Every structure is written in C-alpha cells, then in structure tokens.
A and B are shown apart, each in its own frame.
Chain A
Amino acid sequence: MTDAAIKVEDITYSYGDLQAVKGISFEVQPGEILGFLGPNGAGKSTTIKMLTGQIAPKSGLAQILGKDITLDDPDIQARIGVCFEEKNLYLSMSGKENLDFYASLYGIKDAGSVEILRRVGLADRAKDRVKTYSKGMRQRMMISRAFINSPDVLFLDEPTDGLDPVTSASIRNTIKEEAGRGAAVLLTTHDMFEADELSNRVAFLNDGVIVALDTPENLKLKYGKRSVKIRLRDGAGVREETVALDAPESGELIKAAVGSGEVLTIHTEEATLEDIFIKMTGRGLAG
C-alpha cells in the first residue's frame, strides 16, 4: 500500500457547544474514491472544511499528502481541488475566464481551460458569461474548476446534487477519470446509487461519528440479507417466494422453482447502502 493521500486521526471540531465532528479517523489512498455518506448535520461538510484548510481541527491529526493541514503549507493548497456544494462562481465572467483566474492563483500560465471545459461538455459555452448557464452547466463548471490544477486530492461536496440523470452520469464519469489518473477523491453525497457506483469504500457518518467504513460490497454482505425473490405464475394470479441463499436447501428450492416452468422473474434481494445506513443509525440519509 502506498502512502495515504488523506490521513485523518481522531479529529474533532465544535461550533461553540455543538460538537460537529467527534473524533473520526480514516485514510484515502491515491486513486481511491471514498464516499462520505450521512444526513445533513452529520459532519461531512465540517470535515471537508477542516481538510481543505478553511477551519482548523480542535484536536487530532489531519494530513494531506503527508503534510499536516494545520501548518497552512501553500504546497498542500496547490495540490488539492475542491468542488463546493454552493455554486460559488463569478457570474459576470465567462467559463473560460473563471478557470483562467483560478489557474493564475495556482501559478498556471496556460491552463488549457477550454480543454477542461470540453471534458465537462462546456467547450462551446466557454466564452459565455456564467450567469447565462443553467444549473447543470454551473455544476459542471464547478467540477471543471476543481480539476484546473490537476489535483492529487479532490474534495467533492455533493457534486451531482439536484442534477438530471444525464448530467449526473457525465459528472460521475469525469470523477472516475480523475481517480483513474491517480487522484484521491473524498466524495460527500446523499445519493446511494452514486456512492455505490463511484466509491471504492464508503464511510457512514452520523452525528459526527463514523459508524461504518468499508467497501460497499462488504457492507452489503455484512449487513444485508442474501436471498432471491422468485415470482411464479399461480393459476390466474402471481405468487412470490423468497429463498435465503445461505440455507442448506436453497439450491434445491431454486432448482424446483425453475423446473416448474412457472417462473416469471428471479431477483437477488441485495440490501442498499441506505438500508444498511438506516439499520445502523436508525435514521435515513435524506434527513
């Protein structure tokens, strides 16, 4: 295993008396996408704020690329990319001007802004002012801004929130490409499908504490139920049977059902990440 791009050990943060993050620990390796899942107020955004240097942890250790984030080292800021939940773009400037401006803050002279915009499907609108962009276009613009410095570590806060399926799919592909070139990605999202599709591992955050951290498959195996649901023709009606996969007679039951020639559909009954989250915390992700 290589050195972790993000290393967090027992960090905490409080807003006055309210403890938003209560000693969480995790690591993200280069090329890995860690999905950070949790409802509003769970501490996701506070964690990102700490890791991007916007606020300092009250205690604990937070390292980005082996450097302590509290040291305010400009080299760290030069190697991270952040996509905020708020669309904080300069509306009176064009897409290209926005990217060129941020590139200049990193000391990049020729950022290839149009090429970056092409990756998110905005090349033909590069010279238009951002205020004329739709919500989806602005979100793609936010993503492209996070990529402007070819970051080694990417923080993506709800990157597809409220977007249509096509735009969301396009953004997910771009995130995969970034991880593919070696960037470590910390992704916060409410979307279980997105977390499942993108994340190598997911962390469930609830009330400032990580309650589970593993690959989606392991979490499903550990907390989900292994069964298949079989729908059979039953005279004029339809009958459903659920067969547990771990039972000794499972094979025979499925074989019999298929052999009856009455099977309409067979589906595996895999738990979703949301099911598991609810099971573990007693609350949903949307809350």
Chain B
Amino acid sequence: MSRTVSRASIVSAIVKKDLVEFSRDPLYLFLSILGLVFFIGFFWIAPNTVNETLVLGVHQTGMDALFEEFEQGATEAEGLKLVQFASEDELKKVVSGDVEYWESEDGTQRFFRDKAAGDKRPEDAKRVAVAIGIGFPEGFLEKTAAKEKTTVTVYSDADVPAEIQGAMKSFVREIAYALAGNELPVTEPAQENIILGTDRAGDQVSLREKMRPMLALFVLMIEVISMASLVSSEVLTRTVTAVLVTPAKAGDFLMAKTIYGTMLAMSQALIVLVAIGAFTAENWALLLLTMLVGSVMFTGVAMIVGAAGKDFIGTLFYSMLFLLPLMIPAFSILLPGTASTWIRFLPTYGMTQVLTGITAYGLGLADVWKNLLVASAWVIVIYLAGLFTLKRKVESL
C-alpha cells in the first residue's frame, strides 16, 4: 500500500515525539525547572541600586577654609562627598574597615562604631563607606607654599580600583602644585565636560538590570544541555536510523530538531525575561526577535554537541567547552572594564550587546541594528555548522 505523507506532517510528528521524550525525562525537567526558579530568584535578590558617589575621607589641619570651599563644591557636584576626620589614625581605621563611619540621615551627627569592641549599631543613622582617604600633614600649606618637601598619605581600601587610587595621587599633586603658586600648564575648555560615547553619569544601571542578558543566555545554555542530550541519545541508541528508513529524510529530522530546540530554548528564555520584567511596550518585538536569534544560535551549538557527545557526561563536557566562551560577553557586562578587544569576536558578543541595550538602557532597533546584524551572521555560521555536523553523524550511522 502506498501513501503520501507531507514533509510538514513528518516534521511535526518528530517534534511532538521530542516533546513527549523531554517531558518524561526527569533530568531535563529538573534542569529546566531548576534553571527557571534559580535564575528568576537570583535576579530579584540582586541589588537594584547604584551608588555613583565617591566618598573621600580627609584629615587636615590648618586648611579649614580651603576644604570648606571644597566640601561645598563637592556637595553641589554630583558624585563626590567629602568626610573630614579629626585624626589621621581615625581616617586610617575607617578606610581599613576596622571602624565603621555612620551619619545621621540629615548628616549633622557622626558616629564611629568599633565592631570588635562590641559597639552597637547607631540608631537613625546610615553607614557611609569611606574607601579612600587623604591625610595632609601639619603645616602642609606653609611648606608647600615655601616649596619645601612634605609627605601626603593616600589611604585606600584594597577594593578601590587602581584608576581611582591613581586619580587621588594626581589630585594631591595638583593641589600642591597650585598651592606652590604654579599655574597649570594645561588649559581646560570652558565647558565642564566633554563625554565621548554614551554618557551614563546619573543613568547607570544596577547589577540586577545588568544581569538580564546574562540570565537569558544562561537559560539558553541549560536548554543546550537538554537538547544535546536528547540528540546524543537518539544518535547513540540509533533510533534515528529507525526513523530514516521510513519516509522521513535526514532533512526532516534536522528540521524537527531545529524547531524543537528553538521552541524549547525560546519559550524558557521568554518565561525568564517576563518574570524579570525585561519586556516593555516598546521593546517586546525587538526582544522577541533577539531571543529568536539567540535560540537558533544555541540550537546550532546543541546539534554540534549532540553529535559529539557519547553519553551524558560527554555531552556535558562538550557543552561546557562551547558554552563557557560564549558566556564571556555576558559576564563582561557585569564587570565593566574587564572586556578585552578579543571578546568582540565571540559569537555571543553582538547578541549580548543587543540584549543589554534593549533591556537595560531602553535602546531601539535604530541603536542596536549593527550588533543585531553581527549576531545574525554568527547565527548563520553556527547553525549551519550544527546542521552539517549532525547530518554527517546521522548519515554515518
């Protein structure tokens, strides 16, 4: 008896079968559900505030007028707060963290809390973290004016970036230079600042917001492991051979795996993105498109891994081999300043930039289209590599 069956029916039957297998595998389900709960929970636990103010501790004597002027200016300017300390030892202890510095809400009362000595937490006060401080010696003004050598100490917590430490040293040098009656040989422009690129001052995003693209990529990563395991088991148990002696062709099998992988990855990524509040009325279409691009990319990775893996551990190993480099661009968003130039050449760089732009900074297609184009080009490369690898594997059975 001869029957005709459409390619679409065959592909749909294989996708349906894959979904049944997925829903019955406790490991895939566990990984998926755990991933969803963990990532969503992690997002909401992460801090949602950004402190852009640099607190500078100062100890000085005989320079009250000068620092009053500085302090006034610092209060008016965004991003710098001056805290004066009565002694250099006090400043040192606060910067080193041995003693905590607290202020009342209105800033009029100051408290020092020595936790080691059992001091209680001051009421109606907030802790002010002083990570860097400058200790001016007695007679600094006079000695500098007389062009005598003197020593200024910059105290810095180990966590303060080297750039800030360097800036403080320059700041001290500049003060001394000016006090010595020298005019700086450099003239600043009349306008306050010239910012090249996007000025994020006052518009910085919190760690939580920066995590959005990373979480979306993590979910896709979990789905790579699930799908690669499914593909690998189909290859190893040779169920695919049984499928290919029916009217189903290798192309149907690959198409079904593409649809299944993309559908699964995208649906889970969407659940996470909805749960972490990434969608807005403005960005939903662009975000959907980006997630589609990402899902196809990771489906391609899953095909390569599935064709290579010989068991679950092997699949996990190959998954990590591919996924860890692909995660680097997402991590670099979390840790600004860590991104090297080579990261731009990683396949997920463009997609991460697009996701960050959309979810954290509210950018639109006009702003992200170049990165989206780069991401799409990578998708084509990775997906075709996945198709080729899996097709060769299937045909070699």
Contacts and interface: CB of A to CB of B under 8 A. Distances in A.
B21 A54 contact: no
B245 A107 contact: no
Contacts of B241: 54, 84, 88
B315 to A, nearest CB: 17
B246 A102 contact: yes
A78 B248 CA distance: 9
Interface string A86-119: 1011111100010001101111100000000000
Contacts of A84: 238, 241-242
Given A74-B247, A105-B14, A106-B246, 19 more contacts: A53-B244, A54-B241, A54-B245, A72-B249, A74-B5, A78-B4, A79-B1, A80-B245, A82-B242, A84-B238, A84-B242, A86-B237, A92-B24, A104-B13, A105-B5, A105-B247, A106-B3, A107-B4, A129-B24
A281 interface: no
A150 interface: yes
12 contacts: A54-B397, A79-B1, A79-B2, A89-B242, A90-B21, A91-B237, A93-B17, A105-B14, A106-B247, A149-B1, A149-B3, A152-B1
Given A53-B245, A93-B17, A106-B246, A88 B238 contact: yes
Measured as residues with beta carbon below 8 angstroms from the partner, the interface class of chain B is 20 to 34
Contacts of B248: 77, 105
Contacts, number: 87
Contacts of A53: 244-245
- Chain A interface size range: 20 to 34
Interface string A208-246: 000000000000000000000000000000000000000
A140 interface: no
Interface of B: 1-6, 9-10, 13-14, 16-17, 20-21, 24-25, 237-239, 241-249, 397
Closest 5 CB pairs of A and B: A107-B5, A104-B13, A105-B246, A92-B24, A88-B238
Contacts of B10: 104-105
A52 interface: yes
Contacts of A75: 2
A166 B46 CA distance: 65
Contact of A101 (B17, B24, B237): B17
A54 B9 contact: no
A145 interface: yes
Contacts of B242: 82, 84, 88-89, 102, 145
B246 to A, nearest CB: 4
Contacts of B17: 90, 93, 101
Contacts of B238: 84, 86, 88
A1 B339 CA distance: 77
Contacts of B16: 101, 104
B27 to A, nearest CB: 11
A149 B245 CA distance: 12
A227 B20 CA distance: 61
B21 A106 contact: no
A154 B210 CA distance: 60
Contact of A150 (B1, B14, B25, B249): B1
Contact of B13 (A88, A105, A149): A105
A133 B377 CA distance: 47
Contacts of B249: 72, 74
B124 to A, nearest CB: 62
B232 to A, nearest CB: 14
Contacts of B237: 86, 88, 91
Contacts of B244: 53-54
Contacts of B9: 104, 107
B6 to A, nearest CB: 8
Given A77-B246, A105-B243, A92 B21 contact: yes
A107 B3 contact: yes
B239 A77 contact: no
A145 B237 CA distance: 16
Contacts of B25: 92
A42 to B, nearest CB: 20
Contact of A89 (B6, B14, B239, B247): B239
A87 B247 CA distance: 20
Contacts of B243: 105
B245 A97 contact: no
